[in-house]
Structure formats: structure tokens, C-alpha cells
Amino acid sequence: MDLVICVFGCDTIDKYRNQILKINETWGKQAGVHTNVQLLFFLGEEVVLEGPQYIHLKNVTNDYQSASYKQFIGLKYIYENCKSKFIICVGTDTYINVPKLLHNLSRYNYLENLYIGGHGCHRNILGKTVYFHSGGPGFIISWECLRLLYPKLDNIVEEWIDICYRNNTSEWKTASDLAMGYYAQLPYLNSQIIKTNDLSMIHCNHRGRPCHPNMIDMKNIVSCHCMSPEDFHDFTSILTLNNFFM
């Protein structure tokens, strides 16, 4: 398999369940067209949506902290159940141009230890400046990166929460994207950080709102964030009319 899409979400609250359904109506259909792509939703223990693509995680709730558990336990599930060259982690208000993503990933070697993303930022953690790829448009890791991360995944969320308290930044304990950036740069993992730097993975929506007004070329978009239900359908129409800009 070339790609597993790890979507962390919530199906017990209408707003977030509707985002899951919008994915299935729009870019999720493109994921389903490709036999080398698997789309999985990692959700809390309580079951609303049912089907093989919905993974309900035992003892995981649907509070704000749960996104970290869904992301990292989701990665553990993928390592144990899916052999994939690359994994992308996103939330349910993110849109992926699947054909474009597959095309862009073809330039990378999944046997190398890679941590790939676009829009990102820096934070100071325990005296060190740490770069992380924003979880809005998502981040991508290679299979080799996941293999090295795997031994940490059983306890990584609790360890990260402790680090945040020791760093006097307890508000970061829910920042699962920052956590991934932190662990990717620890000596035992030491991933190669790849920044796309081409506005292909953007925190704003497909029209550049709110971060990049009049700066976005839709032909380059691999993933975008801050997507409303209307945005999902608008961008789907644009991509369909333009053969996904391939």
C-alpha cells in the first residue's frame, strides 16, 4: 500500500460527525478509487458510525485531549495492521487532493526516516527550539519514521502531557501536531524534516482564508484546512472540473 490516511475525529457530536460524512461525500471517494490508499477514521470508544473504516478506540473519550490519543493510537493501529509506504494524519476539517498527494509522494523514499509537512511553526520545549508541521493541513511520515516511533506509542500521550507540565506550558498538552514534531527530532528518532515551502499544505482553506488571501494557487494544493461544509463541495467541483490538477 502506498498511503494510509489517518483521520482523527468524533462521531458523537453533530458538527464533527457531519465533517466525517462530508469527507466520505467528497475527497474520501477519491481515496476509495485508489486501491493503494486506505482511509481510516480513528474515533472514541462510543459507537455512532459503523463500518470497517471507523476504528473506535477502547477507553478513548471524545474530549479535546482525545485528539492526541486518536492520532497516536491510530498510528499504532496502522503499524500493527497496515503496511504502508506513507501515512498522513489529519483532522476532519481538512481536505486532501488524493491524486496530487500520491503524485508528490512519489519523489520520496519510504525507507528513509521522513517527517513531511508544509505550514509550520516553532515552540520552545525544555530549553530547545522545536519546529513542527501544523496539524491543520496534516503531516506525513514515512514507514521508516513510524517504525522508529512505534516503541513509544503505548505511553506517548502521557509522556507528552508530563513534558508540557514540566515546560510550564500545560496548554500544549492537547497539541498533537507539536508532540509529533518534538518526538520526530529526539535523538532516537532524528527524522529528516521536509518542508514543502510551496503552499501545497496550507492551514487556510482552498481560497486562502484566513491566512493567505490572494496567495493560493489551487493547482498546487495537496491539503488545506479550515474547510466549511460548503468549502468541501466547492473545492470538489473545482478539482473534478480540472482533473484534480494532474
Q: How many Å apart are CA 204 and CA 216, to the nearest integer?
A: 9
Q: What is the mean pLDDT of the chain?
A: 95
Answer whether residue 175 is part of any domain: yes
Residue 196's nearest CA partner among 99, 105, 111, 125 is 105
Read off the pLDDT of each residue in 62-66 and give the average, rounded to a whole number: 89
pLDDT at 214 over 90: no
pTM of the model: 0.96
- Contact criterion met (CB below 8 Å) for 198 and 118: yes
What tens digit of pLDDT does each residue of 130-178 get?
999 999 999 999 999 999 999 999 999 999 999 999 999 999 999 999 9
Non-local CB neighbours of 93 within 8 Å, separated by 6+ positions:
19, 225, 226, 227
Q: In this structure, what CATH number is given to the domain that contains residue 142?
A: 3.90.550.50
Read off the pLDDT of each residue in 224-234 and give the average, rounded to a whole number: 96
Q: How many Å apart are CA 131 and CA 201, to the nearest integer?
A: 16
Answer whether residue 105 is part of any domain: yes
Confidence at residue 213, expressed as pLDDT on a 0 to 100 scale: 85
Q: What angle do CA 107, 109, 112 make, to 5 degrees?
A: 140
User: What residues form DSSP beta bridges with 78?
Assistant: none
Confidence at residue 222, expressed as pLDDT on a 0 to 100 scale: 97
Query: Range of 155's domain?
Result: 3-199
In 10 A of CB 246, how many CB atoms?
11
Answer whether residue 16 is part of any domain: yes
pLDDT band at 64 (very low <50, low <70, confident <90, very high): confident
* Pair type for strands 114-117 and 192-195: parallel
Q: How many Å apart are CA 110 and CA 102, to the nearest integer?
A: 13
Confidence at residue 126, expressed as pLDDT on a 0 to 100 scale: 96
In the chain, the number of structural domains is 1
pLDDT band at 2 (very low <50, low <70, confident <90, very high): very high
Answer whether residue 242 is part of any domain: no
Answer whether residue 236 is part of any domain: no
Answer whether residue 84 is part of any domain: yes
Answer whether residue 166 is part of any domain: yes
Read off the pLDDT of each residue in 43-54 and give the average, rounded to a whole number: 97
Read off the pLDDT of each residue in 74-93 and give the average, rounded to a whole number: 97
pLDDT at 212 over 90: no
pLDDT band at 198 (very low <50, low <70, confident <90, very high): confident
Q: How many Å apart are CA 142 and CA 109, to the nearest integer?
A: 8
Answer whether residue 216 is part of any domain: no
Confidence at residue 32, expressed as pLDDT on a 0 to 100 scale: 87
